[in-house]
Amino acid sequence: MSGALTFVGVSLALLLPLAWWVGAGARRAWRVAGVAATVAATAVLYLVLGSPAQIAPPQDPVDALAAKLEARLDQDPTNVEGWRMLGRLRVGQARYEAGADAYAKARALSGDEDVAALVGYAEARLLGDPGRLTTEVAPLLERALALAPDEPRALWYGGHAAIERGDRVLGEQRWRRLLAQDIPPELRHALEMQLGTAPATPSVAATPPEPGADQSTPLFELEVELAPALAARVQAGATLFVFVREGTGRAPLLVRRSNEVRLPARFVLTSADLLGGAAALEGKGALTAGARISARGSATRGAGDLEGTVAIERGTPGRARIVIDAEVR
């Protein structure tokens, strides 16, 4: 019994960082594997490492499990499943280079016929450097989707890759295919925001909330204005998106959508607007706040949209004034 309890405890210690990896925010773009992947990872550990009684309670469970796995792989270097599991462990520890190296061995052994190894490698490289999306990573995602058209992480990242290279139709097709699957609520919300199908949320009024009202944690206060020269360009039925993202051209960390374009207005983005949970804000990169008016109602940036962006500092909350003063060409 004690051996079984030890195995469960060690497995949970592994699953916690994996669950964080799977559910981290939009800037990590996904971690779509979800509960099914972590359960599968635990099953693989059981098969690779042996019976629960052989696992002693380690001081650092994840490193100890990785060390055991590496020792087994030294004895059996052709174990594709073992290399995949090691890659998942290292990525869960944010050791992306080590994770990519492990996945690379699985790719080599499988001749790039193993979808999990392909997607795992692509994700490890992408998390280490998002700039690889349209260069090194995109062909791997295309290969994975050719082998498994419904692979969730390949659909998520592949949608971004398609849009980055200008094929918005294909990108949105992939996201809708993913949306049809049984996916975590956070990912479903992120997809709906990207596709412009999420329920509208009204802007937060400048007046204080009623006493006793349930409030989410305020994270950013954004004053949004529309340049007078563009006022005539706002079409009836347009949609306003207010967002905060890391850097430029990346998926937003927080989004507020409103079907009413009445500016100027103040928006308070809260923890309820996060697309990937609180972990989405744990990065160190520079933040950009922005506002975009879409005549099509799409969360995807497109020609004819009106937008404005500004740098914003992390704070409690961060504050910025955004002027919508440019048209997307």
The answer to whether residues 166 and 45 belong to one domain is: yes
The answer to whether residues 30 and 65 belong to one domain is: yes
Whether the CA torsion 125, 310, 163, 298 is positive or negative: it is: positive
pLDDT of residue 128: 78
Query: Is 60 within the bounds of a domain?
Result: yes
Q: Work out the percent of the chain whose per-residue pLDDT is above 90.
A: 19
Higher pLDDT, 286 or 44: 286
The answer to whether residues 88 and 28 belong to one domain is: yes
Contact present, 32 and 22 (Cβ < 8 Å): yes
The answer to whether residues 179 and 308 belong to one domain is: no
Name, of 64-78, 96-110, 240-254, the range with top average pLDDT: 96-110
pLDDT of residue 318: 79
The answer to whether residues 288 and 156 belong to one domain is: no
pLDDT tens, 183-231?
A: 877 677 777 767 766 554 433 333 333 333 344 577 888 899 988 888 8
Query: Is 157 within the bounds of a domain?
Result: yes
Q: Is the pLDDT of residue 7 over 60?
A: no
3-state class (DSSP) for residue 95:
coil
Task: Report the pLDDT averaged over residues 53-68.
Answer: 65
Query: Is 274 within the bounds of a domain?
Result: yes
CATH of the domain at 114: 1.25.40.10
The answer to whether residues 61 and 173 belong to one domain is: yes
Query: Is 314 within the bounds of a domain?
Result: yes
Contact present, 287 and 246 (Cβ < 8 Å): yes
User: Of 125, 160, 195, which one is at a domain's C-terminal end?
Assistant: 195
Length of the chain, in residues: 329
Query: Is 210 within the bounds of a domain?
Result: no
The answer to whether residues 85 and 153 belong to one domain is: yes
The DSSP code sequence of 178-236 is HHTS---HHHHHHHHHHHT-SPP-PPPPSSPPPTT---PPEEEEEEEEE-GGGGGGPPT
The answer to whether residues 16 and 146 belong to one domain is: yes
User: Of 131, 161, 195, which one is at a domain's C-terminal end?
Assistant: 195
State the Cα–Cα distance between residues 249 and 236, nearest whole angstrom: 27
Query: Is 206 within the bounds of a domain?
Result: no
The answer to whether residues 231 and 273 belong to one domain is: yes
Q: Is the pLDDT of residue 115 over 90?
A: yes
Q: What residue numbers bound the domain in which 71 lies? A: 2-195
Query: Is 211 within the bounds of a domain?
Result: no
Q: Which residue has the tokens 């001749």?
A: 111
The answer to whether residues 183 and 245 belong to one domain is: no
The answer to whether residues 125 and 263 belong to one domain is: no
pLDDT of residue 256: 87
pLDDT of residue 103: 95
Q: Which helix (H) or strand (E) holds 256?
A: strand 252-258
The answer to whether residues 227 and 140 belong to one domain is: no
The identity of residue 179, as a single letter, is L
pLDDT of residue 36: 45
Note if the pTM is more than 0.85.
no
State the Cα–Cα distance between residues 295 and 6, nearest whole angstrom: 57
Task: Report the pLDDT averaged over residues 230-242.
Answer: 85
User: Of 164, 195, 226, which one is at a domain's C-terminal end?
Assistant: 195
Contact present, 98 and 121 (Cβ < 8 Å): no
CATH of the domain at 280: 2.60.40.1120
Query: Is 208 within the bounds of a domain?
Result: no
CA-closest candidate to residue 85, choices 97, 94, 73: 73
pLDDT of residue 234: 84
DSSP state at residue 220: E
Q: Is the pLDDT of residue 9 over 50?
A: no
Tally the domains of the chain.
Answer: 2
Contact present, 29 and 160 (Cβ < 8 Å): yes
Kindly report the CA angle at 290 between 252 and 241, in degrees rounded to 5? 75
